[in-house]
Amino acid sequence: MEISIASSKTKNTTLIPIIIIAGLFFIFGFVTWINGALIPFMKTINELTSAQSLLVASASYISFVVMALPASYILSKIGYKKGMSLGVFIMGLGALVFIPAAEARTYWMFLTGIFIQGAGMTLLQTASNPYITILGPIDSAAKRISIMGIANKVAGALGSLIFGALLLSGIDEIKEKLNVVSAAEKAELLNTMADSVVTPYVVMALVLFILGILIRKAPLPDVEAEPIEEPKDGSTTKTSIFHFPHLWLGVLTLFMYVGVEVIAGDTIIAYGISLGIPVADAKFFTTFTLMAMVATYGLGAFLIPKYITQTLALKLSAILGIVLSFCIVFTDGFTSVLFVAALGMANALVWPAVWPLTLKGLGKYTKTASALLIMAISGGAIIPPLYGNLVDANKADYIAQGMNEALATATASTKGYWILLPCYLVILYYAIAGHKLGLSKK
């Protein structure tokens, strides 16, 4: 039975689907946000530069470019429910790749496992985001997506804490030993450290396989978007996906947003370490970012659409992001780290607002547009490594100018956050004008 968003719904008809989709957001939130702990871990065991270590984020997020359109095709053939189940199974397979990767301590194998997990998440995201968007009235979509965001980021905080404890405990002492031991002892230490990922990823794989089976049996109704509004004379004016400029600007906006979201969550631990903060303390920093997002998601679920519109929420988020970007680069130490964590507040309502604003009025093009929006998640693959390259380049310049390595690393890491500013400016433009381009006037 198809359910149109124009239909009248009771809480009972949407409650179970919302709970199920929230569970899916929890799953890929947990898997996504352990990257904050994986990045410094991989940097140590594979002896990487800052830019190289951020390929962890690239491997995860580039899968959204490669797999988004295939995922859309798969969903058109097997439907939302089977697609979501398949996505979870693929994520489980990716987790299993960590076993041989740890045995070989080979970076490209780790990246392959992360990419496969990203492919599974692409299938999940391509199905679940438009599903929750059109499950109810479009004007309250940001409210529903905010609830999904709470599930996603709570899971991310748990994942960051758990994997931070499992992978980063004692890493300071190990790094000190690596500087003084022989080559053979160094290899043994790094191999032992690499093996610590095996048990958690085996457990993760088992849980994902079980969840894939449960989702396959879950009661999820079909949903369809409202048809495109056409002129009263019946003529067709929208005959191509390229007739919706607000969609393409929405894709660019989401690209920029995911980039800054990943920077805020995935670089903060390494940033704290670069400032001389002990790993024992820094391993909690991703959780700070995610908890800021959770609090703001809760605020958004309460305020939207009763007190503020999705558009206003997006404007305020972009302005706050711009202000915080300046605060990060003009402060230092733990204060600067707190401003990075505060980006969680600026980022939280961007995703919930951009999706409904972008999908509005797309009708039969909604599924294709959703795939394009999912591809925009590749911003998380491209923008964080640009930050890493900025850090490495500036660090080399500072050292060449006579600055000691520790200070050069800290200064370069801080100044690298200038990359946030143009991203938030794009988001602000979309909030003010971009989301209205090409839409029919009522």
Is residue 237 assigned to a domain? no
Q: Cα 115–257–118 angle (5° rounding)?
A: 10
Same-domain status, 208 and 256: no
Alpha-carbon distance of 257 to 145, in angstroms, equals 15
- The type of residue at 50 is S
Same-domain status, 210 and 277: no
Same-domain status, 263 and 215: no
Token readout for 32 is: 């996504």
pLDDT in tens, 152-211: 878 888 888 888 888 877 777 887 787 778 888 888 888 888 888 888 899 999 989 998
Count of domains observed in the chain: 2
Task: Please report the pLDDT score of residue 4 as a whole number.
Answer: 40
Task: Select the more confidently predicted residue: 430 or 81.
Answer: 430
Same-domain status, 246 and 214: no
The rounded percent of the chain whose pLDDT value lies above 90 is: 32
- Computed over every residue of the chain, the mean pLDDT equals 84
Task: Please report the pLDDT score of residue 1 as a whole number.
Answer: 35
Is residue 4 assigned to a domain? no
245: Cβ–Cβ under 8 A, 6 or more apart, which residues?
A: 437, 438
Same-domain status, 351 and 432: yes
92: Cβ–Cβ under 8 A, 6 or more apart, which residues?
A: 120, 204, 205, 206, 208, 209, 212
C-alpha neighbours within 13 Å on the C-beta side of residue 150: 15
Residue 211, SS3 per DSSP:
helix
Same-domain status, 170 and 254: no
Intra-chain end-to-end CA distance of the chain, in Å: 31
Same-domain status, 288 and 202: no
Token readout for 169 is: 């405990």
Q: How many CB atoms lie within 10 A of CB 42?
A: 24
103: Cβ–Cβ under 8 A, 6 or more apart, which residues?
A: 195
Sequence length of the chain is 442
Is residue 5 assigned to a domain? no
- Mean pLDDT confidence for 111-123: 91
DSSP label of 390: H
Task: Please report the pLDDT score of residue 13 as a whole number.
Answer: 65
The rounded percent of the chain whose pLDDT value lies above 70 is: 90
Same-domain status, 311 and 398: yes
* Residue 398 lies in domain: 242-441
What element of type H or E holds 320?
helix 310-329
Alpha-carbon distance of 414 to 258, in angstroms, equals 20
- Mean pLDDT confidence for 299-317: 88
Alpha-carbon distance of 260 to 317, in angstroms, equals 12
Alpha-carbon distance of 384 to 54, in angstroms, equals 7
Is residue 3 assigned to a domain? no
pTM > 0.85 = no
Domain end (from 219, 234, 257): 219
Is residue 351 assigned to a domain? yes
Task: Please report the pLDDT score of residue 127 as a whole number.
Answer: 78
- Mean pLDDT confidence for 59-81: 83
- Mean pLDDT confidence for 399-403: 92
Is residue 1 assigned to a domain? no
In this predicted structure, which of 315-319, 405-409, 422-426 has the lowest mean pLDDT? 405-409
Is residue 226 assigned to a domain? no
Using alpha carbons, list the distances in angstroms from residue 376 to 249, 257, 334, 413.
Answer: 11, 9, 32, 26
CATH number at residue 412: 1.20.1250.20
**Nearest to residue 92, comparing CAs of 200, 216, 201?**
201
Contact between residue 262 and residue 384 where contact means Cβ atoms under 8 Å apart: yes
Same-domain status, 29 and 161: yes
Same-domain status, 138 and 213: yes
- Mean pLDDT confidence for 284-295: 88
Alpha-carbon distance of 404 to 434, in angstroms, equals 45
With a cut of 80, say whether residue 318 has pLDDT above it. yes
Paired strand residues for 2: 222
Backbone angles phi, psi at 76, to 5 degrees: -70, -25
C-alpha neighbours within 13 Å on the C-beta side of residue 32: 33
Contact between residue 213 and residue 338 where contact means Cβ atoms under 8 Å apart: no
C-alpha neighbours within 13 Å on the C-beta side of residue 88: 26
Token readout for 345 is: 């507040």
Same-domain status, 357 and 435: yes
Is residue 19 assigned to a domain? yes
226: left (phi over 0), alpha (psi -120 to 50) or beta: beta
Q: How confident is the model at residue 8 (pLDDT cuts 50, 70, 90)?
A: very low
- Mean pLDDT confidence for 32-38: 80
Same-domain status, 201 and 251: no
